[in-house]
Amino acid sequence: MQQTVKHDVLILGGGPAGLSTALHLAQLAPELIPRILILEKAHYPRPKLCAGALLADAEIILQRLGLDVNEVPHVDAVAAHLDFAGKGLKISLPDTHTLRVVRRDEFDNWLAKKTEVRGIEIREGVTVRDVLPRENCVIVETDVGIFTAQAAVGADGSNGVTRRCILPNALVHTARVLEVLTPPYSTQKPSEFGNGDEGRERIAYFDFFCVPSGIAGYTWDFPTQLNGQPMRCWGVYDTNILADMQRPALKQPLLEEMARHGFDLNDVELKGHPIRWFSPKNQMSVPRVLLAGDAVGADSIFGEGISIALGYGALAAREVSESIHRGDFSFAKYKSRVLRSALGQTLLARWAVTQILYRLHWRWFQRFFWRSMGWIISAASWVLVLNWGKRMPSLYPNRPGDS
Ligand SMILES: Cc1cc2nc3c(=O)[nH]c(=O)nc-3n(C[C@H](O)[C@H](O)[C@H](O)COP(=O)(O)OP(=O)(O)OC[C@H]3O[C@@H](n4cnc5c(N)ncnc54)[C@H](O)[C@@H]3O)c2cc1C
């Protein structure tokens, strides 16, 4: 049945970017709450292929929204190892966990419920088919009918329809990613690392040994849980920037890494999903429609996108609320404001490091870098990867430092 509903803001996609946009809008402009609608194609709790590692900035942004992620089932990693073929650098944060690992079905469901509690309507099971910006409104065609609004936020992820509708010819940088869940180390036979790899259970591993073979990325191995049972999440990430080299199939390095620890990939189900990553060339808006989260681009070094999506939500909300108050929906300054923000600065810096680090793919360089440059990597992580959440715009309009 066709239906036409007029809202101020339609948020297309109810993942971290869309829900964060809604939560920030509710905080910045509470008068808009009844005029915001989120359209989500799935029903919560919905599956989402993701390792679920939250960096500290995700927690900072959630805390600023008055949300406590401790309410979500999680496993904390006490340290992260950044290695080349099993040896490298250990990073840990003083007095706290280094990574918190959630299951995305549980995390997104929790965030959606928090959004609804604040009075924002989420229409589940509605698939957006087309997004048509017009001079006076934006028209969103879905499988249940047509919605119109003053503005729309495309937060429908790496494969989202919004970007394809509003920017059909835009250049897209897409990483290949594979992921698999296994039982924990303690269930495995002794491996080259000892009996059941004790001591590894609370550590998150990133290993860059695959770069010399032309995979511009890393394999990961994180602690996680499924229905309260300890598990490991393994995966491999490839930015694709060495795509012109002869490369092994993406499965190969993951197979090797898991085999070193006594796991057999043939016993488990492997799943893949692309990640669109940030480049300063990525377009972010057209009049009446702006993009947030993976629809713009995740971090390019690691494919880290949850905290990034939450951060985009803060920026998209500020842009939309100001546009409504001004009555100007050109979104002409959105990209420059994103790039100047603390989120934009970390994304730009990580993009620059990606271009250098993965293009210098020689074995000797990668081995030297990960095994001998520990202090540089630690300092760079502190400045480039962590702590941008604290410098994001305030949640209240017209405060100094918000521009
Ligand atoms: C294998 C893998 C592992 C990852 N591991 C990590 C990690 O450990 N840590 C990390 O920080 N990041 C990780 N990421 C990246 C992270 O998952 C994304 O960056 C993050 O989910 C982006 O959030 P988002 O809200 O932009 O998009 P999504 O989470 O993709 O949300 C988009 C939402 O839009 C909905 N939607 C899509 N199309 C439509 C439509 N047509 N109509 C209506 N709704 C629609 C979807 O159902 C979904 O709910 C990983 C990604 C992959 C693929």
pLDDT category of residue 400 using cuts at 50, 70 and 90: very low
Token digits for 22?
Answer: 């809604």
pLDDT category of residue 403 using cuts at 50, 70 and 90: very low
Lowest mean pLDDT among 41-45, 85-89, 149-153, 198-202: 198-202
| 156 ligand 1 Cβ < 6 A | yes
| 109 ligand 1 Cβ < 6 A | no
> What's the pLDDT tens digit per position in 362-371?
999 999 999 9
Q: With CA atoms as reference, report the closest residue to 284 among 319, 256, 250, 252.
A: 319
| 180 ligand 1 Cβ < 6 A | no
Token digits for 12?
Answer: 């297309």
For residues 207 and 220, give the distance between their C-alpha atoms in angstroms, rounded to a whole number.
Answer: 6
* Nearest alpha carbon, ligand 1 atom 50: 50
* Nearest alpha carbon, ligand 1 atom 29: 15
Token digits for 92?
Answer: 């840990």
**Which regions of 85-228 does DSSP assign to beta strands (E)?**
87-91, 99-102, 121-124, 128-133, 138-142, 145-154, 174-182, 203-207, 217-226
For residues 145 and 348, give the distance between their C-alpha atoms in angstroms, rounded to a whole number.
Answer: 39
Task: Please give the distance, rounded to the nearest whole angstrom, from the Cα atom of residue 380 to the centre of ligand 1.
Answer: 26
For residues 89 and 94, give the distance between their C-alpha atoms in angstroms, rounded to a whole number.
Answer: 16
Q: What is the predicted pLDDT for the residue at 402?
A: 43
Higher-pLDDT residue of 4 and 25 is 25
Residue 389, amino acid: G
> What percent of the chain is predicted at pLDDT more than 70?
93
Q: Is the pLDDT of residue 254 over 80?
A: yes
Task: Please give the distance, rounded to the nearest whole angstrom, from the Cα atom of residue 245 to the centre of ligand 1.
Answer: 28
Q: What is the mean pLDDT of the chain?
A: 91
Q: What is the predicted pLDDT for the residue at 397?
A: 55
> What's the pLDDT tens digit per position in 49-72?
999 999 999 999 999 999 999 999
Mean pLDDT confidence for 231-249: 90
- Residue from 275, 291, 296 to probe ligand 1 pocket by mutation (most atoms less than 8 Å from CB): 275
Task: Please give the distance, rounded to the nearest whole angstrom, from the Cα atom of residue 103 to the centre of ligand 1.
Answer: 12
Q: Is the pLDDT of residue 194 over 90?
A: no
> What's the pLDDT tens digit per position in 382-393?
877 788 998 887
- Residue from 11, 21, 39, 50 to probe ligand 1 pocket by mutation (most atoms less than 8 Å from CB): 50
Q: Is the pLDDT of residue 328 over 90?
A: yes
At 85, is the secondary structure helix, strand, or coil? coil
Atom of ligand 1 nearest to the CA of 17: 25
Is the full-model pTM beyond 0.85? Answer: yes
Q: With CA atoms as reference, report the closest residue to 209 among 244, 181, 248, 265.
A: 248
Task: Please give the distance, rounded to the nearest whole angstrom, from the Cα atom of residue 13 to the centre of ligand 1.
Answer: 9
Lowest mean pLDDT among 4-13, 18-27, 301-310, 346-355: 4-13
pLDDT category of residue 262 using cuts at 50, 70 and 90: confident
Q: What is the predicted pLDDT for the residue at 257?
A: 87
Residue 114, amino acid: K
| 52 ligand 1 Cβ < 6 A | yes
pLDDT category of residue 200 using cuts at 50, 70 and 90: confident
> What's the pLDDT tens digit per position in 63-101?
999 999 999 999 999 999 999 999 999 988 888 899 999
Atom of ligand 1 nearest to the CA of 129: 41
- Residue from 69, 108, 129, 156 to probe ligand 1 pocket by mutation (most atoms less than 8 Å from CB): 156
| 58 ligand 1 Cβ < 6 A | no
| Angle, vertex CA 14, rays to CA 12 and CA 19, nearest 5 | 105
At 312, is the secondary structure helix, strand, or coil? helix
| 57 ligand 1 Cβ < 6 A | no
Mean pLDDT confidence for 341-368: 95
Task: Please give the distance, rounded to the nearest whole angstrom, from the Cα atom of residue 273 to the centre of ligand 1.
Answer: 9
> What's the pLDDT tens digit per position in 115-129?
999 999 999 999 999
| 40 ligand 1 Cβ < 6 A | yes
Q: What is the predicted pLDDT for the residue at 222?
A: 95
